[in-house]
C-alpha cells in the first residue's frame, strides 16, 4: 500500500508543471482572442469595418476603434446631442398619399415677352446707348439716337401746319392737316412729350432719340454705332424674363395621362423650396425631330428674375392617389443591402431601429406597409446620423439585430 501511495503522489508531482503550463497557455489564448475582438471603423463611412488600425479606403481618414456596448439595442441621446444632430420626430398615422411621375424639362424664353426693336425711319445711327447683350433695359430708357432728314422734313410739316392753325383757327382743313401731321410723327416713333417740345421750341431737330417701349434684357444687338439703317431694319431684340416657358418631354404612350389645362408641379434643381405651379397649355401633336418624344409646354412665373433660360426643370405629373395609408418623408427611411429601417423614439432620448417594408413612393414621401403602428414616434430628420452612431458604438449593422 505504501508503495502504491508513493507512486500516485510521484505521478501528481510529475504532471503538475505540464498542467500549469497548459492553463497558462489557455489563458493566454483567451486574452489574445479578447484582443482580436477590437475592430475599427471610419467616422465618415461607418460601413468600413476592419480588425486593425489603418485609414479609410474611401476618404483616407484614420480609422477609430468601436465604442462597443452591444448589450442594449438602443441609443441614448441627451437634449443637446439631439439638437446637434437635428433629430426631429413625428407621430405616424394613416393619411393620403399622392404619387407623381417625373418628367425632364427645361426653361426657355417666353416668346410673348420678346420685343423686337426696329428703326422707324431711315438714317444714320449717331449714338447707341446699348453696346452689348445681357444689359437690362427699363421702359422709357434711351436706346439709340438717329440722324434722319426724313424725320426733320416731317417735323417741318408739323410746324407749318401748327402755324396755319394758329393763323386760321376756324379753318377745319388746317386743323385736320395739323392733326394728321402730329399723327404721322407718332407713327415714326415720336412720343407725345417730344411732339409737345417741338411745338414749344418751334425748331426742327434731325437728331432724334428713341426710347424703349418695354422693359427687358438685350438678347441680340444687330447694328453698330455710325451705321446707316433703312426704315424697318432690325436693331436689337429684348427679352423679358418675368415668366418663362417650361418644355418637358413625354412618351406618346404617356400623353393620354396629361390633360390640357391640368395643373402640374415644377421644381428647379437648386430651388427645391420654391416649387411652382404650371398649367399644361400645349401638347404638341407631332413627335420631336429625331426622337420618339412629344413636347409638353406651360409657363411659370420667375420670381425676382432668379432663373435663366436653359436651366433644367423637373415636372411632376400626378400619377396615383391613395387614401388611408401610412407614409413617411423619404429621408426618414434608411436603406441598405439588407433592407429598410426607421428609428423610433421609445421614450425620451431613447431611440431604437425598426425594420419596415415600403410600398408606393413619391419624390417626397414613401408608403410604409408593415413595421409601424399608429402613434409611433418616428425620426424624420437625423435618421442617418443615428444609423452611423449605432454602428460606431455597437460595431454592427442594426439590420442584423432587428426582427419584423
The domain locations on the chain are 33-66, 67-98+322-400, 100-111+241-319, 117-239
CA distances from 116 to 135, 139, 147, 265 (A): 15, 14, 21, 32
pLDDT confidence bin for 64, thresholds 50/70/90? confident
How does pLDDT run across 226-254, given as a tens digit for each residue?
899 988 888 999 988 889 999 998 888 77
Q: Do domains 100-111+241-319 and 117-239 have the same CATH topology?
A: no
Is 273 a residue whose pLDDT tops 90?
no
Among 1-5, 49-53, 217-221, 250-254, the range with the most confident prediction by mean pLDDT is 217-221
Q: Which SS3 state, helix, strand or coil, does residue 136 take?
A: strand
Provide mean pLDDT across the span 249-278: 85
Cβ distance 208 to 190 under 8 Å? Answer: yes
What percentage of the chain has pLDDT greater than the value 90?
Answer: 5
What is the enclosing helix (H) or strand (E) of 207? strand 207-211
Give me the pLDDT at residue 17, please.
Answer: 55
User: Which among 310, 174, 297, 175 has a CA at the least distance from the CA of 241?
Assistant: 310
Provide mean pLDDT across the span 96-120: 84
Give me the pLDDT at residue 400, please.
Answer: 67
Is 19 a residue whose pLDDT tops 70?
no
Q: Which SS3 state, helix, strand or coil, does residue 46 take?
A: coil
161 CB-side CA count, 13 A: 21
Q: Which residue reads 389645362 in cell numbers?
A: 261
How many beta carbons lie within 10 A of that of residue 246, not counting itself? Answer: 26
Give me the pLDDT at residue 71, please.
Answer: 56
How many beta carbons lie within 10 A of that of residue 254, not counting itself? Answer: 16
Give me the pLDDT at residue 311, please.
Answer: 92
Is 6 a residue whose pLDDT tops 80?
no
Cβ distance 339 to 355 under 8 Å? Answer: yes
Give me the pLDDT at residue 63, please.
Answer: 80
Q: Cα torsion for 382, 385, 391, 394, to the nearest 10°?
A: -70
Q: What is the mean pLDDT of the chain?
A: 81
Give me the pLDDT at residue 393, please.
Answer: 72
Give me the pLDDT at residue 33, please.
Answer: 47
Give me the pLDDT at residue 34, please.
Answer: 46
CATH class of domain segment(s) 67-98+322-400:
mainly beta
pLDDT confidence bin for 29, thresholds 50/70/90? very low
CA distance 75 to 166: 97
How does pLDDT run across 163-219, given as a tens digit for each residue?
888 888 888 888 888 888 888 888 777 778 888 888 888 888 888 888 888 888 898
Is 42 a residue whose pLDDT tops 50?
yes
CA distance 262 to 183: 46
Q: What are phi and psi of 201, to 5 degrees?
A: -80, -25
Is 61 a residue whose pLDDT tops 60?
yes
Cβ distance 356 to 398 under 8 Å? Answer: no
Is 358 a residue whose pLDDT tops 50?
yes
Give 66's DSSP letter.
-
Provide mean pLDDT across the span 98-110: 85
User: Which among 254, 247, 266, 388 has a CA at the least distance from the CA of 315?
Assistant: 266
CATH of domain 100-111+241-319: 2.40.30.170
Counting beta carbons within 10 angstroms of the beta carbon of residue 8, is it exposed (0 to 12), middle (13 to 18) or buried (19 or more)?
Answer: exposed
Give me the pLDDT at residue 395, please.
Answer: 65
Give me the pLDDT at residue 69, please.
Answer: 52
How does pLDDT run across 324-356, given as a tens digit for each residue?
788 888 888 988 877 888 889 888 888 888 888
- CATH 2.40.50.100 corresponds to the domain 117-239: yes
What is the full DSSP assignment across 267-329?
Answer: E-TT-TTS-EEEE--EEEEEEPTTSS-EEEEEEEE-GGG---TT-EEEEEEEEEEEEEEEEEE
Amino acid at each position: 500500500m505504501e508503495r502504491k501511495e508513493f507512486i500516485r503522489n510521484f505521478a501528481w508531482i510529475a504532471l503538475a508543471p505540464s498542467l500549469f503550463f497548459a492553463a497558462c497557455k489557455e489563458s493566454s489564448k483567451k486574452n489574445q482572442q479578447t484582443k482580436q475582438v477590437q475592430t475599427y471603423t471610419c467616422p465618415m463611412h461607418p460601413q468600413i469595418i476592419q480588425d486593425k488600425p489603418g485609414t479609410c479606403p474611401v476618404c483616407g481618414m484614420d480609422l477609430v476603434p468601436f465604442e462597443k456596448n452591444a448589450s442594449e439595442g438602443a441609443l441614448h441621446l441627451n437634449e443637446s446631442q439631439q439638437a446637434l444632430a437635428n433629430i426631429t420626430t413625428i407621430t405616424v398615422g394613416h393619411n393620403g398619399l399622392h404619387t407623381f411621375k417625373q418628367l425632364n424639362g427645361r426653361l426657355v424664353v417666353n416668346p410673348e415677352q420678346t420685343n423686337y426693336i426696329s428703326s422707324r425711319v431711315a438714317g444714320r445711327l449717331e449714338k447707341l446707348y446699348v453696346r452689348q447683350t445681357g444689359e437690362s433695359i427699363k421702359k422709357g430708357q434711351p436706346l439709340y439716337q438717329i440722324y434722319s432728314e426724313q424725320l426733320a422734313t416731317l417735323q417741318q410739316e408739323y410746324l407749318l401746319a401748327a402755324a396755319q392753325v394758329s393763323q386760321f383757327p376756324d379753318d377745319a382743313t388746317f386743323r385736320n392737316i395739323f392733326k394728321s401731321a402730329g399723327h404721322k410723327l407718332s407713327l415714326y416713333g415720336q412720343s407725345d412729350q417730344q411732339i409737345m417740345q417741338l411745338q414749344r421750341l418751334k425748331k426742327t431737330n434731325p437728331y432724334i432719340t428713341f426710347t424703349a417701349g418695354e422693359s427687358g434684357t438685350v438678347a441680340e444687338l444687330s447694328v453698330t454705332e455710325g451705321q446707316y439703317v433703312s426704315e424697318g431694319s432690325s436693331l436689337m431684340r429684348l427679352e423679358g424674363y418675368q415668366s418663362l416657358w417650361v418644355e418637358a418631354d413625354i412618351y406618346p404612350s404617356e400623353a393620354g395621362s396629361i390633360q390640357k389645362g391640368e395643373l402640374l408641379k415644377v421644381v428647379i434643381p437648386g430651388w427645391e423650396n420654391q416649387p411652382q405651379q404650371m398649367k399644361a397649355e400645349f401638347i404638341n401633336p407631332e413627335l420631336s425631330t429625331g426622337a420618339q418624344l412629344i413636347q409638353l409646354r406651360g409657363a411659370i412665373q420667375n420670381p425676382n428674375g432668379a432663373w435663366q433660360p436653359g436651366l433644367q426643370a423637373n415636372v411632376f405629373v400626378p400619377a396615383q392617389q391613395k387614401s388611408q395609408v401610412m407614409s413617411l418623408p423619404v429621408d426618414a427611411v434608411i436603406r441598405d443591402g439588407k433592407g429598410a429601417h426607421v428609428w423610433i423614439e421609445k421614450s425620451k432620448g431613447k431611440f431604437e431601429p425598426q425594420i419596415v417594408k415600403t410600398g408606393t413612393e413619391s419624390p417626397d414621401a414613401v408608403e410604409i406597409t408593415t413595421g409601424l403602428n399608429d402613434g409611433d414616434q418616428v425620426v424624420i430628420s437625423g435618421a442617418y446620423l443615428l444609423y452611423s452612431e449605432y454602428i460606431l458604438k455597437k460595431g454592427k449593422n442594426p439590420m442584423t439585430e432587428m426582427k419584423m
